A and B are shown apart, each in its own frame.
Chain A
């Protein structure tokens, strides 16, 4: 009876342990989306240790849809894949490389918004161009088209 109770307590502790581990790994894998953090890790030599490389390989389970649905920053998976290659791990030690990746990431992040703005602007220009043409008054269009 006592043994059973001990076992159930251990089971509860194991569950708690699992939950914590899940959250810790979730946070860590998403931190990999930050190129400056990767640069930081590279400069401290973490990427040279075999145990760390094995851990990165182990983290690939986050690609499975059952786990990936918990990710807020899914770009981290791309970086995780890149980190499997040694050449990338060597390159990311260079600050310029990390900065370049960061810039590209930001530009990509803004791409959708910029595209939308451009489309809206084009639509507005088109409508404005049509309006003076359809109106009967001879007032020339005043809006500048870019």
Chain B
């Protein structure tokens, strides 16, 4: 301990005063002794101790004041701390709310830019939706029962009525094919002529690299509007007919026996 505390000083001074006053009383009560110098000393000591006590008391008072100030300030500091903690809490809440809001706003913006990238008029969408629904292609008709031959995909009959089946038939002339091509088919949703022109003036389907339709004319496909997304396809040669078109001939014969195949065992060469 560095210096004795005020309380200790006060108490020790009081003890000293007690001792000195006892001595004084002893000396006073013993009249035989004429020890004046001793008594003077004691009195001076007493006075000195009294002065000490007084100073210590003033110090104690001042210290008390300081202590009160200190406690007031401490309470103030505690209040401020509490306010800061409240603010911190509310800031955290706000941060979480804002982050959710920003996340949702970003998602919305992304959706908006995505939608703007591919604009389609609502009228076109509704027309298309009507077309595919009215023909019962995507939703069953209300009168559909189990034996109904209608299906959500082109059935055998539809396939046989189409151009694909007639392609492999050598008895049908090219003229007849072209004629059939110009009439609406069961799988085509539009009137052919004006819209086909539009389709062909719009992005062209890239010339089929493997299907040169060599039994048609010897006109070479011009690859000038190729979007470049077929890597790995071999370039066309007009000399050998592509294999899968030959096999489409076989399709035509096999189409008739397709339904009976459903009961045959599957080929197990795997």
Contact = CB atoms under 8 A, between A and B. Distances in A.
Contacts of B206: 58, 61
A20 B188 CA distance: 13
Contacts of B216: 17, 20
Nearest to B120: A65
Given A19-B196, A22-B205, A93-B270, A109 B181 contact: no
A20 B177 contact: yes
Given A36-B262, A75-B138, A57 B230 contact: yes
Contacts of A99: 262
Interface string A1-39: 000000000100111111111111111101101111101
A44 B233 contact: no
Contacts of A52: 243-244
B207 to A, nearest CB: 9
A94 B190 CA distance: 36
Nearest to A30: B187
Contacts of A25: 205, 208
Interface string B210-226: 11010011010110000
A18 B159 CA distance: 21
Interface string A30-68: 110111110110011110010110110110010011110
A135 interface: no
Interface in B84-136: 118, 120, 124, 128, 131-132, 135
Interface in A80-139: 90, 93-95, 99, 105-106, 108-110, 112-113
Contacts of A19: 181-182, 196, 200
Given A18-B204, A27-B164, A55-B211, A43 B261 contact: yes
Contact of A69 (B124, B140, B221, B270): B124
Contacts of B222: 14
Interface of A: 10, 13-28, 30-31, 33-37, 39-40, 43-46, 49, 51-52, 54-55, 57-58, 61, 64-67, 69-76, 90, 93-95, 99, 105-106, 108-110, 112-113
Given A31-B159, A73-B152, 6 more contacts: A22-B200, A39-B262, A51-B210, A65-B120, A67-B205, A106-B151
10 contacts: A14-B217, A18-B200, A20-B181, A20-B213, A27-B154, A43-B261, A75-B152, A95-B262, A105-B152, A106-B152
